[in-house]
Structure 1
Amino acid sequence: MMTTLFYILSAITLATAFLTIFSKNPIHSAIYLVLCFFSIAGHYLMFNAQFLAIVHIIVYSGAIMILMLFTIMLMNLNKEDEKNKSVLTRIAAVVAFGLVAFVLLATFVKAQPQLEYKTATEDFQSIKVLGKVLLNEYMVPFETASILLLVSMIGAVLLSKKEHING
């Protein structure tokens, strides 16, 4: 039963992830991404991580997707208004993508797996314990993520501003 449910959720996750990438309409792409997030939350429920599943739905499917939809609507993505990119720009984008992919691949290959796993005596499903761990041991990554979200939101607003040409 659980194996069948896992395969169904995995198929939904993969299908909606590919539809997110290959969809021509940005609104449809955002909706497919929400469906992908819900199926990932289903995986969390299968792992008996109810708190993580609920937070995932609230944060990703709620807040992040609303932010993305506002960004899409602010930018007014129309194909007619889009300028054609030069060949040099496209080649630079492919080279940049290749370099980033190479660095990530090299990092994953060189990473040493942790051979010994420590078992924790605390229940990390507890909100109290999770809050202590998040705001003590992982304070810097938590704050870095919040700064990253703030910078991306400011960048989206700046990109959406129309430049006035005097003349």
Structure 2
Amino acid sequence: METIFFTIVAAVTVLSGIMVVTCRNPINSALSLILTFFCIATLYVTLDAPFMAAVQVLVYAGAIMVLIVFVIMLLNIRSEVGRRYTHAGIIGTVVGFLMLVLTFNFLNNSSLTGAKGLITTDVINKIGHTELIARSMFTDFLLPFEITSILLLVAIIGAVILSKKKI
């Protein structure tokens, strides 16, 4: 039963990911991305990582997608309905398919190293997902976390400046 559920969720994730790239309307593409984020959160739940699923929904499907939709509407991006296909779409499809084949080849021909990490199932059950993630985020990865927030702020300011007719 779990395998069938995983297969269905994985298929919806892949299809919505393809729709993100192929939709001509930017709002439809953003909605497909939200569906992709929710499917990934569902996969986190099946992996017994409820905190990661909640963060996925709150941060990505919530805050980041609101930001993306806000920027799309602020910049007034219109889809080009009458546009003809170019060779770039065909080249992108071929390159994507080759990357998929290479990834499957790599995964089938590789083996696990057998290396064990410091965080085992016993440590996760004793301390908890949330505390382990928070401890790692706010000690080892504090600088990248802060740089990401600054980059998001710069992106918002850039979108506002680009959308103004006169500054």
Could you say whether these structures have the same fold, taking a TM-score greater than 0.5 normalized by the shorter chain as the test?
Answer: yes
Runs of at least 5 residues in structure 1 that lack an aligned partner in the other structure: 81-90, 99-108
Q: Residues 128 and 25 (structure 1 numbering): CA distance in 2 closer, same or farther, change over 3 Å?
A: same
Q: Distance in 2 between matches of 1:125 and 1:64?
A: 26
Q: Residues 78 and 126 (structure 1 numbering): CA distance in 2 closer, same or farther, change over 3 Å?
A: closer
Corresponding residue of 1:84: none
Describe the SS at the equivalent of 2:48.
Answer: coil
Q: Distance in 1 between matches of 2:143 and 2:161?
A: 27
Describe the SS at the equivalent of 1:120.
Answer: coil
Corresponding residue of 2:44: 44
Which residue identity lines up with residue 119 of structure 1 in the other structure?
Answer: L
Q: 1:127 Cα deviation (Å)?
A: 2.5
Q: Give the alignment of 1:17-166 within 5 angstroms.
A: 17-78=17-78, 115=113, 116-121=115-120, 122-123=123-124, 125-163=128-166
Q: 1:129 Cα deviation (Å)?
A: 3.2
TM-score by length of 1: 0.71
Q: Distance in 2 between matches of 1:150 and 1:117?
A: 38
Q: Aligned-residue CA RMSD in angstroms?
A: 2.8
Q: Distance in 2 between matches of 1:22 and 1:162?
A: 30
Which residue identity lines up with residue 56 of structure 1 in the other structure?
Answer: Q
Q: Distance in 1 between matches of 2:129 and 2:10?
A: 27
Q: Distance in 2 between matches of 1:156 and 1:125?
A: 39
Runs of at least 5 residues in structure 2 that lack an aligned partner in the other structure: 81-87, 96-105
Corresponding residue of 2:84: none
Describe the SS at the equivalent of 1:65.
Answer: helix
Describe the SS at the equivalent of 2:14.
Answer: helix
Q: Indicate the structure with greater helix content.
A: 2
Alignment check: 8 A CA contact 1:51 1:125 kept? no
Q: Distance in 1 between matches of 2:2 and 2:152?
A: 36
Aligned residues: 137
Alignment check: 8 A CA contact 1:49 1:125 kept? no
Which residue identity lines up with residue 14 of structure 1 in the other structure?
Answer: V
